[in-house]
């Protein structure tokens, strides 16, 4: 672990976090500690799917109805996911904690916004955890938890959605592709309860072009699409930086939950490590997984054009 010391420089000026750090899916589910489910096992069920037989005109005669028939069994199955361990270490030397007045860069009169290096590094680690969880919920590649040496990984939506998918094969996103996916989802029993479309910047712009309508005005131009109305449901539209540019996800938020396997009652444990020298350390620790419900409730369009 690389601790923070006096060689990690201080500067004057307002702090700005840059880069792709938005977490809209996690925020919609209540954030890191705002809700979700807990489990006492790393593996947890996400759905117990079962289905009826194909509909038919199941008529019988009076004579046959009066005798014993053949029982029908409606079989069930189970789909499960796993939690993954996520640990973020941070530490600061005593000297670094004491010398926040030492400045580098442009030296002018001003206020140093970071006066507690240890607290800053902890807050940064928490933001990193949130971004990594967001990434895992879309791009997580499932690895089952077997032994203590196994790096268990939760299954994200990209791997989970296998029934409802339209492959664009490099073509630009069109309304026909979206209609095809929605018809496929409806045919496979999607309930369309609380739908949100997640897309990266390029396809958000394409969706805006497909569905928006701007009335003529001498002073105002452009549109900012927030909701798409279809015969099946109203879809919220969310910019999601943690997914591939060529993927679009249609997610039923009514069955989406973060799952935590708590340590000592805490879904995110903030642990101070023992002080054995002139440095103070700690780490954030969580055991997180995604409950996405029946994967047939979601859909995706993959492989669209990105330019």
Contact between 153 and 140 (Cβ < 8 Å): yes
**Predicted pLDDT of residue 109:** 62
| φ, ψ dihedrals at 197, nearest 5° | -95, 125
25 HSE (CA, 13 A, CB side): 34
One digit per residue, the tens of pLDDT, for the chain of length 307 reads: 577 877 777 766 677 777 888 899 999 998 887 667 888 889 999 999 888 888 888 888 888 888 988 888 889 989 999 999 999 999 998 888 887 777 777 666 666 778 888 888 999 999 999 999 999 999 999 999 888 889 999 999 999 999 999 999 999 999 999 999 999 999 999 999 999 999 999 999 999 999 998 888 888 888 899 999 999 999 999 999 999 999 999 999 999 999 999 998 889 999 988 777 888 899 999 999 999 999 999 999 999 999 9
**Predicted pLDDT of residue 273:** 87
| φ, ψ dihedrals at 23, nearest 5° | -135, 70
269: Cα separation from own chain's centroid: 20
- Strand 299-302's sheet: what is its strand order? 165-167, 299-302, 248-252, 195-199, 234-239, 227-229
| DSSP H or E segment with residue 167 | strand 165-167
278 DSSP assignment = S
**Predicted pLDDT of residue 167:** 98
């Amino acid at each position: 672990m690389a601790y923070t010391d006096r060689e990690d420089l201080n500067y004057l000026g307002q702090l700005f976090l840059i880069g792709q750090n938005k977490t809209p899916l996690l925020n919609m589910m209540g954030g890191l500690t705002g809700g979700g489910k807990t489990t006492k096992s790393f593996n947890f069920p996400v759905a117990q799917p079962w289905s009826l037989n194909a509909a038919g005109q199941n008529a019988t005669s009076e004579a046959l109805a009066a005798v014993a028939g053949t029982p029908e069994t409606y079989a069930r199955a189970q789909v499960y996911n796993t939690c993954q361990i996520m640990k973020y270490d941070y530490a600061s030397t005593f000297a670094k904690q004491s010398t926040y007045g030492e400045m580098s860069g442009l030296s002018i009169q001003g206020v140093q916004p970071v006066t507690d290096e240890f607290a800053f590094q902890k807050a940064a680690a928490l933001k990193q955890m949130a971004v990594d969880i967001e990434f895992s919920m879309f791009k997580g590649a499932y690895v089952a938890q077997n032994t203590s040496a196994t790096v268990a990984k939760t299954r994200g939506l990209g791997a989970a959605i296998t029934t409802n998918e339209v492959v664009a094969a490099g073509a630009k996103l069109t309304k026909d592709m979206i209609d095809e996916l929605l018809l496929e989802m409806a045919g496979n029993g999607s309930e369309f309860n609380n739908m949100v479309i997640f897309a990266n910047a390029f396809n958000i712009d394409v969706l805006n072009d497909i569905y928006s309508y701007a009335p003529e005005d001498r002073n105002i131009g452009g549109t900012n699409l927030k909701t798409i109305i279809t015969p099946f449901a109203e879809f919220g539209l969310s910019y999601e930086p943690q997914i591939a540019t060529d993927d679009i996800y249609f997610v039923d938020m009514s069955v989406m939950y973060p799952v935590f396997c708590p340590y000592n009652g805490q879904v995110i444990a903030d642990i101070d490590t023992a002080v054995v020298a002139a440095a103070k350390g700690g780490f954030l620790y969580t055991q997180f997984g995604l409950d996405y419900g029946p994967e047939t409730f979601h859909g995706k369009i993959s492989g669209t054009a990105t330019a």
